[in-house]
Every structure is written in structure tokens, then in C-alpha cells.
């Protein structure tokens, strides 16, 4: 389980406002996992590195949809926020999904990319990524936490490529889609719901206010769902 601190902010596009730290919030703890404990400044630096690196190590460009199939890990947080920072649109899936479910959503949205966790489930997600890449469902795969086939990009290489770089400024419209979240259904197949920058940002602030969350609050964060809400 991961834990993230909650901070408030003015209405704006989601979610990078949550990482624009002041001198007071920068040194505060932002993310805790069994492996890392990062401040807002440390998390923001990694997010910026990923956002800068993804543009130089892949052909993905602002507006492209990118599938996410990972577990609860620090790399998931960095990749998710980094993609939004780079103007990409994350599409959430479950680690329990198979190639059929992930491929269906990718084809429906015209997704070009996939980020996969290589060590999850004994390599099951890596096999799914290889199948989707070889079938032409996606043309770019980035893998975390494991050895990467030559046809795929490494999360670590993406971050290293963008280290000490400032990613290009992206100014999305408030009514642009920020992310696609999983939605319930009755057909047995996954469905997705578009979340707009404006309403997603407002939803995060409203939840924090209603629950009395402050910059001293730690809240469990599910990487398959509301990361921007958790770090608001």
C-alpha cells in the first residue's frame, strides 16, 4: 500500500498543481512505499525527469493515449504523473486484466503506448505487453521493475534521459481529457470514463475539503485509481 500527503490548491489543470511545492511543502513527505519515502521535491524531480525523458526516448507526443497496467509501486506514481506532465493521457487498467481486456480498451481509444510492470505476477504483465506489441495494438511499451526486451523502453532509461531537464510546458484546456478511469459495467468487459482536467481537479479539492484532509494527512493511494486525488 502507498500513502500520499494531501495539499490544497487553486482550480487548474490536473494534477501537476499538486506538485508545485512551496518552501513549506517541498521538504514534506509526499509518498511512502515499502521501498521509498520521498518528499514533494524528490517526487516532483522524478516526475519532471520522466516527462522530459519520454519525449526523447519514444515517439509518444502530447495527446497520445497510453495504457497503464502496473501494481502499487513508486514507479507507477512517477509514470502516471509524468505522463500527464508530458501531455499524454493515461488509461487505467487492472493488473488482473488479460491481453483481451487491455487490447480492447487500447483499440477503442486508439492508444499508442503501454506502461507495464515486468516483475508483477511472475512476468504475466510482460507477456501481455509483448503480445499487444507484436499484434500492433500498441507501438510503444515502457516497462518498470525488470529486465526489458530490446523492443521495449526501460522506465529507468526514460528517467535517466530526462534527468536535470525541464520538460516542455504543456497547457491543456480545462475541458480536455486528463485521464481515462475504469468504470463499472454489466457486460463482463471493462469500460472507461473520461475525466476532464477541470472536474477532476475540482473533485480532488472537494473530497479533501469534505474529509478534512490537510498537508499533514496521510491517505492510502490505489495506483489503479485516483492518484491525482491522493496527491491533491
Domains of the chain: 2-221 (3.40.50.980)
pLDDT value of position 14? 61
Distance CA 106, CA 138 (A): 7
Query: Distance of alpha carbon 79 from its chain centroid, rounded?
Result: 5
- Other Cβ atoms closer than 10 A to 198: 18
* Contacts for 132 with CB less than 8 Å, ≥ 6 apart: 99, 102, 103, 106, 114, 138, 141
Compute, in degrees rounded to 10, the torsion defined by CA atoms 28, 33, 35, 36: -20
pLDDT value of position 177? 93
pLDDT value of position 216? 76
Instruction: Give the pLDDT means over successive 10-residue stretches in the chain (232 positions).
Output: 46 55 69 91 93 96 96 94 94 92 95 95 93 96 86 94 90 89 75 89 86 80 55 48
pLDDT value of position 8? 40
**C-alpha closest to that of 231 among 46, 94, 78:** 78
Distance CA 43, CA 228 (A): 13
Amino acid at each position: 500500500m502507498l500513502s500520499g500527503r494531501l495539499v490544497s490548491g487553486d482550480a487548474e489543470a490536473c494534477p501537476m498543481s499538486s506538485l508545485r511545492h512551496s518552501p513549506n511543502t517541498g521538504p514534506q513527505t509526499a509518498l511512502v512505499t515499502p521501498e521509498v519515502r520521498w518528499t514533494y521535491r524528490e517526487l516532483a524531480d522524478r516526475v519532471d525527469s520522466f516527462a522530459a525523458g519520454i519525449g526523447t526516448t519514444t515517439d509518444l507526443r502530447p495527446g497520445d493515449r497510453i495504457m497503464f497496467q502496473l501494481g502499487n509501486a513508486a514507479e507507477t506514481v512517477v509514470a502516471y504523473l509524468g505522463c500527464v506532465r508530458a501531455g499524454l493521457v493515461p488509461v487505467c487498467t487492472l493488473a488482473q486484466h488479460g491481453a483481451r481486456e487491455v487490447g480492447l480498451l487500447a483499440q477503442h481509444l486508439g492508444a499508442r503506448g503501454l506502461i507495464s510492470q515486468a516483475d508483477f505476477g511472475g512476468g504475466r504483465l510482460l507477456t501481455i505487453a509483448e503480445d499487444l506489441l507484436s499484434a500492433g495494438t500498441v507501438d510503444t511499451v515502457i516497462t518498470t521493475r525488470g529486465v526489458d526486451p530490446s523492443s521495449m523502453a526501460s522506465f529507468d532509461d526514460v528517467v535517466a534521459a530526462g534527468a536535470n531537464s525541464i520538460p516542455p510546458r504543456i497547457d491543456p484546456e480545462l475541458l480536455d481529457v486528463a485521464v481515462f478511469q475504469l468504470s463499472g459495467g454489466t457486460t463482463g468487459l471493462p469500460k472507461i470514463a473520461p475525466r476532464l482536467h477541470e472536474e477532476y481537479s475540482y473533485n480532488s479539492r472537494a473530497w479533501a475539503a469534505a474529509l478534512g484532509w490537510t498537508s499533514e494527512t496521510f491517505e492510502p493511494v490505489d495506483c489503479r485509481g485516483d492518484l491525482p486525488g491522493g496527491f491533491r
